[in-house]
Amino acid sequence: MPVVDASELAQLQAKQQQVRNICILAHVDHGKTTLADSLVASNGIISQRMAGKLRYMDSRQDEQERGITMKSSSISLYYQDNKQADYLINLIDSPGHVDFSSEVSTAVRLCDGAIVVVDVVEGVGPQTRACLKQIYEEQLKPVLLLNKLDRLILEKQLTPLDAYFHLSQVLEQVNAVLGSIFASDVLAKEDITQKDNYESALEQVDDSELYFSPAAGNVVFCSAYDGWAFGVADFARMYAERLEMSVEDLQQTLWGDFYYNAKKKCAVAGAQEKAKKPMFVQFVLENIWSLYDIIVVRKDKEKLPGIAEKLGLKLAARDLRLTDAKLQIKTLLGQWLPIDRSVLQMVVQHVPAPHCISEERAQRLLYPANMELQSLPPQTLALKEEFRSCKAASEHVIAFVSKMTPVHVTQLPQNRAKRLTAEQLQQRRDEVRRRIEERKQQSEQESLEALTAGVEQLSTPSSQNAAAVEAEPERAEYEFIAFARVFSGTLRRGMQLYMLAPKHDPRQPTHRDAEQAPYASLVTIGDLYMFMGGELQLLEEVPAGNIVGIGGLESHIVKTATLSSTLDCTSFSELSIMATPILRVAIEPVLPQDMPKLAKGLKLLNQADACVQVSVAPTGEHVITTLGEVHVEKCVHDLEQSYAKIKVNVSKPIVSFRETIVPDATVDMVNEAIVKTAEDKDVTKKIAVQQTLNKLGTLKVIALPLPESVVQLLEQHGNVFKELAATPRNTLLSEKFSSLLNNIKTQLIAGFTELQLQGLSTLTPEELVARIWALGPRNCGTNILLNLSDYEQPDFWSAHGKASDTDVRAAADPRRDYNSSLLNGFQLTTGAGPLCEEPMQGVCFAVLEWSVQSEGEDLNARGFGPFSGQVLTAAKEVCRQAFQNQPQRLVTPMYSCNIVVNAEMLGKMYAVIGRRHGKILSGDLTQGSGNFAVTCLLPVIESFNFAQEMRKQTSGLACPQLMFSHWEVIDIDPFWLPTTEEELMHFGEKADSANRAKLYMDSVRRRKGLFVDEQVVEHAEKQRTLSKNK
C-alpha cells in the first residue's frame, strides 16, 4: 500500500464517503493493541517486523511496562482498497481492563463502528459482553475479529477439523451474547404487564442484521501477532476459478456445514452428517496448518522459496535468510494474507461512513432519553437532519468532546524541534562556544569580587536571582487536548463556539437567548490536531465526520462537553459508563507544605482521567474514587510523576458500606430454630416514639425492611426520582416522563404486596404507594418514608421540588409548615445510619403518628429554639431509634470476579477465594482448552491485594478481573453475642473472631473517628519483672 503523509490524510477528511471512524474493543489481553500495531505497520509508520512487539499505541511508560493499555488513543490511517479507492480510517485503540472501562465509553461515543476482538482460546470474556452491550446501546456497527488462531495450531495443537468446531463454538458464543442483549432490549421496550407479549414481540422484530456470520463478511479470522488475517471472501476469490464456482456462491458456502463435491463442482450441505470435511477445513484451515507445520514445527527452511512461488509471492533475498521461524511465518503469511487488506476492507464495507448515521443514533445522541421530541423548538429538530447528513458546508458547527487528553508540551507539533540546515547548525555551534567563553570570563571576575566584597555582597545576587525565577510565570508542563468529533459543519482554528453544559435546554426560551443563556459560554477554538498515536499533526480546519484534537479549551472543559455554534442545539446525552467507581483512597502529600501542589495536581488528574472522581471529604481529606487497584496505581503514578511531582501517601482503601434492617431471624447462628415467645412477637415494642423538645410535637415511627424487588426498582430508577425532586412544584410533567413514572408506580405496587406491615395498617398496596412521603437519602435513595398517620402529605408523585412561590395550602394544616423539617430529619438519618454513619438501604420508615398540639400557643416559645429545628432533630432521632429496634445489618459491595486457570492451580485458587470469604458461583471447564473459567463473588473490602496474592499463589497463571456486581447483606448481626445454649457451646462466650460484620463496622468507625466499643486490655494483670536480679 502506498505510504502517504499527513497532508494527504487531511485532504481525505473532507471526503466523507471515504472516512470511517472505528474503535477496537475486547476483553483484556485479547490482542487489541497488537492488532492496531499491524494496521499501523501497514501504513509504514512502524516496521512490519516490529509490529506486535512495539505496541505503538501504548505510549505511556507504565503501559509498556505492565503490558496493558490504560487509555484510549487514536490514530489516522490510510487505506487503499482493491479498486484503488482511498480511505481515511480513524482508529481508536481502547483498554480492555475493567479498571479503565470508562475510557472505552469515551472511544465508543466518537465512532460509527467497532472491531470486536475475541481470543479464540479464551473465548468470550466478561468485558467482551460489556463491550457488546455498549456497542448495542450506542448503536455502533460491530464487526468481529477472531484473534490468536496461531494458538490453536501451536499451543493447543488442534487438528484443522477440531479447530473448525472450536471456532464455530466461539462464534456461537458471541452471537448468543448479542442475542440475549437484543432480546432483553426488545422485551424492556414492550409492555411487560401482558405476559403473552414476550414471544410475539421477539417474533415481530427483524434481527437478521444483528448476528456475526463469516458468509456475510463481518467476521475475520486472524493472528494479530503473526500479522495475517483473512475473511471468507478472500479465500472465495482465491478458489473461485479452481473450484469452478462463482465467488458469491463460495462466499456463502465456504463457512458452514458444506462439503465440496469434486465431480459436480459444487458445494453440498450436510458435511457433518456424511462425515465429510467441511470446505472451510479443506480449503482454508488445512493450508494454514500445513504452512505452520513446515515452517515453525519442522523448520524446513528449504521449502520456503517453493511455497512462496506456489502462493505467487515474491520473497526478498533478505527474507529468505531469516532464521527465526516466527519471523518467516510473519513474512510469508503476512504477504499472502495481509492483515490490513482483510480487516480494513471489512471495516470499509460494513461500518457506515459518517454521513450515514442512523436516525435512532442521531436521536439518541442529540436528545436525552426523557425528552419529548414534540416539545422541542423546530430549529432544534431541524438540526437532526443536518447532523445526520453530516455536511461540512453546514453553517451550524457541532462537535462533542468525550475526554481531555494530557499531552506533554514537548510533544506538541509546534514545539517539536525542526530539522536544522547545516548553516544553522554551524551558527548554533558558534553561539554555544561564545557563551562558554563569556561564562568563563564572568566566573573569573566574580571570584575576584567575592574575595574582596565579603559574604553579604555574595548573597545579594543569589536572592535577586531567586526573585527573578519566581516572577517568571510558571509554565504548565501538560496541555490538555480535547478528544472530539465534529458532527456537523467545519471546525476552524480561532472560531468562537458555545460550550453547552448538560443543563442547557433549548426548550427554555431564555436558554436560547445569547444574552441570558445560563448554561452556555463562548469559547475560542485553539489549535486543531490530527491524532497519530503518540504524536499530533497540526491542522487548519476539520470537516464534519472526523475525530480531532482541539487545543485551547483546557480551562473550560473538565471532562466532556458539547460545542455548538448555535444555542438551538441540545447538550449531548451523557456518556454511558459501564463500571461504577467504587474504590476510594485518601491522598496526602508526604511533606505537608506540598498541599497546594497536590490540590493542583488533583485538578489536572480529574481532567485527564475520564473515570476518576476527585473530591474533598468532610474531614478535609483529598479523596479519589477509582475503579480498582490498578486504576489507583495509575492515578498515583500520574500524580507523582507528572501532575503534582511530589511524593504522596495513599491511605488504605476506603470502602463504602450501607446499613439496613432485616426481618427477625428464625434460626440462630448454629442453625437451630429460635422459639418465639408472645413478647417477642409484639410489634408495638419496635415502635419508636419521640417528642420535640418542647413536648408539643409527637412522632411515632416503625422501621420495616423493604422487599428486595422494591429496593432494586428504586435503585434502578434513582435518576428519575432525582429529576422529579428537582422539578419545581406545580410544573406539569411531560407525557413521556409521566408514563415512565406510572410504569414505576405499577411495578412498585406489585412490589409492595410483599411488604410485611405486621397488622399496623390495612391499606392496600395502591394506597400505600400513594402515601409515600419521600425517598432518602438525597431524595433518590432506596429508603422510603411512608405516611400512615392522619396527616395529608404533599403528593410525592407529582413534581415536588422547591416551589418558586409559597405553597398556598400550607396554612390549612399547621403541620404543613414543618413538612420540610421532618423530611430533612429523615434524609439525615438515611444518609448516615447508626452502625457506622454509612447510608441506609432498603428501609421503610412508616410514620404512625405525627401530631402537633399548639392550641393557640406559639410553637416557637418555651425557649427551645425554633420549632422547625426541634422537628428536624426529633425526626432524625425517631428514625434512628426505629432502625435500632430492628435487627441491623451491614451491606457490603460485592465484586464479581472471573478467573481462567488450568486444573492444577484450581485448588490453590479456591483456597485464596475461601480465605477472603468469596463465594464460587460457577467453575466450568472451557471446552477444548483444558482451562476452568471460574466465576465468584468477593466482598470489596476483602479484595485488596487479591490479584497479587492470586498471582503469587498460582505462579502467575491466574489473573483475576474484578468488577462491581451488586450490594449484598452480610447476614451477621454486628452486635451479635452468643445467647442460646447451642451458640454458647459452639462459639464460647466471646465470639469476636466469628463476627465479620463487627470487624468491618469497627474499621469504618475507627476511620471516621467514631467511638469504637472494644476492650483494649482483656486480662489485666500486674506486671511482673522478668529479670531475676531485681
Ligand X SMILES: Nc1nc2c(ncn2[C@@H]2O[C@H](COP(=O)(O)OP(=O)(O)OP(=O)(O)O)[C@@H](O)[C@H]2O)c(=O)[nH]1
Please report, as ranges, the residues that interact with Mg ion according to CB under 5 A.
Answer: 32-33, 69
Cβ-contact 396, 489 below 8 angstroms: yes
Min CB(714)–Mg ion separation in Å: 38
Exactly one of 28, 353, 376, 894 binds ligand X (CB under 6 A); that residue is 28
Q: What mask, x for binding ligand X by CB under 6 A, covers residues 586 to 605?
A: --------------------
Question: What residue type is 63 in one-letter code?
Answer: E
> Any contact of residue 881 with ligand X (CB under 6 A)?
no
* Nearest approach, Cβ of residue 53 and Mg ion (Å): 13
Figure out which of the listed residues 9, 12, 25, 32 binds ligand X, where binding follows CB under 6 A.
32
CB of 408 to ligand X, least distance (A): 22
Rounded CA-CA distance 677/929 in Å is: 58
- Looking at 23, 31, 491, 895, which residue binds ligand X (CB under 6 A)? 31
Residue closest to 179 by CA, chosen among 119, 104, 129: 129
Checking 992-1001 for CB contacts under 8 A at 24+ apart, the result is: 994/669, 996/917, 996/970, 996/972, 997/889, 997/890, 997/970, 997/972, 997/973, 998/972, 998/974, 1000/657, 1000/890, 1000/892, 1000/941, 1000/970, 1000/974, 1001/657, 1001/835, 1001/836, 1001/890, 1001/974
* Residues 90-149, interacting with ligand X (CB under 6 A): 95-97, 147-148
Instruction: Map residues 499-528 to x or -, x wherever contact with ligand X holds by CB under 6 A.
Output: ------------------------------
CB of residue 222 to ligand X, shortest distance in Å: 7
CA distance 826 to 192: 34
> Is 342 near ligand X (CB under 6 A)?
no
Nearer Cβ to ligand X, position 97 or 341?
97
Q: Is 68 in the site for ligand X (CB under 6 A)?
A: yes
Q: Judged by CB, which is closer to ligand X: 181, or 333?
A: 333
* Least Cβ distance, residue 326 to ligand X (angstroms): 10
**Residue 727 binding result from Mg ion, ligand X, none, given CB thresholds of 5 to 8 Å by partner type:** none
H-helix segments, 216-324 = 232-243, 247-253, 279, 286-292, 304-310, 317-320
Please say which residue, 72 or 929, places its beta carbon nearer to Mg ion. Answer: 72
Closest CA to 94 of 9, 22, 177, 19: 22
CB of 174 to ligand X, least distance (A): 16
For the CB of residue 22, give the shortest distance to Mg ion in the complex, in Å: 15
Count of alpha carbons within 13 angstroms of residue 377, beta-carbon side: 14
Which residues are CB-contacts of 553 (< 8 A; sequence separation ≥ 6)? 401, 404, 480, 482, 499, 523, 525, 526, 561
**With respect to Mg ion, which residue has the nearer C-beta, 32 or 686?**
32
The vertex-18 CA angle with 17 and 23, nearest 5°, equals 105
Among 21, 22, 30, 486, binds ligand X (CB under 6 A): 30
CB of 62 to ligand X, least distance (A): 12
Residues, the chain: 1030
Of these partners, Mg ion, ligand X, none, which one is at the site of residue 584 (CB under 5 to 8 Å by kind)? none
Specify the residue, 149 or 232, whose C-beta has the smaller distance to ligand X: 149
Contact 570, 608 (CB under 8 A): no
Contacting range for ligand X; rule: CB under 6 A; set: 63-71, 426-434, 550-558, 612-620: 63-71
Asked if 105 and 575 touch (Cβ cutoff 8 Å), the reply is: yes
- CA 99 to mean position of chain CA atoms: 7
Nearest-5° Cα angle at 224, 221 to 230: 30
Binding partner of 396, given Mg ion, ligand X, none, CB within 5-8 angstroms per partner class: none
Nearer to ligand X, 223 or 783 (CB): 223
Q: Which residues pair with 660 in a beta bridge?
A: 889
852 binds ligand X (CB under 6 A): no
Q: Rule CB under 6 A: is residue 29 a binding residue for ligand X?
A: yes
Tell me the closest approach of the beta carbon of residue 30 to ligand X, in angstroms: 5
Buried b (16+ CB within 10 A) or exposed e, 977-1002: ebeeeebeeebeeebeebbbbbebbb
In degrees to the nearest 10, what's the CA dihedral of 93, 94, 97, 98? -170
Residues 193-232 that bind ligand X (CB under 6 A): 223-225
150-189 positions binding ligand X, by CB under 6 A: 150-151
In the bound state with Mg ion, the residue whose beta carbon lies nearer, of 93 and 638, is: 93
Q: Which residue is nearest to ligand X (CB)?
A: 96
- Under rule CB under 6 A, residue 634 binds ligand X: no
For the CB of residue 592, give the shortest distance to ligand X in the complex, in Å.
37
Contact of 773 with 816, CB cutoff 8 Å: no
Question: How far apart are alpha carbons 214 and 219 in whole angstroms?
Answer: 5
The neighbour count for residue 90, using CB atoms within 10 Å, is 26
* 329 vs 847, beta carbon nearer ligand X: 329
- Residues that bind ligand X in the complex, under the rule CB under 6 A: 26, 28-34, 52, 55, 67-69, 95-97, 147-148, 150-151, 223-225
